[in-house]
Amino acid sequence: MAYGDEQLVQAALRDWRTAPLDPKVRAMLGFLEKLTLAPESLTPADARQLRTTGGITDSAIEDAIHVCTLFSVYDRLADTFGFHIPDDKGFAQSATRLLNRGYL
């Protein structure tokens, strides 16, 4: 898990391709990048590759797509309406809540 490992988080933010991430995380980030930047190019083969080479379940793929989609919407709303962005302490508090309670 990256939360609590500030060096790993920063390495992933700099370049997820070279950061010392779990191979499943790296595979999923590549999939999500394609979903975000070129959704029209995403095919069933991309999901198949996650399943076969990454060993990632359909449920995990679906969860990642939902989170990615929601954050894309949130980012656009925040930009449009000038939402307040929390400081590092606020982000840490939110992360702790999400880790303890999930998104529900």
User: How many domains does the structure of the chain reveal?
Assistant: 1
Whether residue 35 lies inside any domain: the answer is yes
Return the CATH number at 48.
1.20.1290.10
**In this structure, what are the phi and psi dihedrals at residue 95, rounded to the nearest 5 degrees?**
-60, -40
Q: What domain range includes position 32?
A: 6-101
**Are 55 and 36 in contact, with CB atoms under 8 Å apart?**
no
Q: What is the pLDDT of residues 26-51, one digit of tens each?
A: 999 999 999 999 999 999 999 999 99
Pair of tokens at residue 45? 């083969």
From first to last of its 104 residues, the chain has per-residue pLDDT tens of 556 788 998 999 999 999 999 999 999 999 999 999 999 999 999 999 999 987 999 999 999 999 999 999 999 999 999 998 888 898 888 888 888 887 76
Whether residue 1 lies inside any domain: the answer is no
Q: What per-residue string of b and e applies to 60-84 under the rule 16 or more CB within 10 Å gives b?
A: ebeebbeebeeeeeeeeeeeeeeee
Whether residue 54 lies inside any domain: the answer is yes
Whether residue 87 lies inside any domain: the answer is yes
Look up the pTM and report it: 0.77
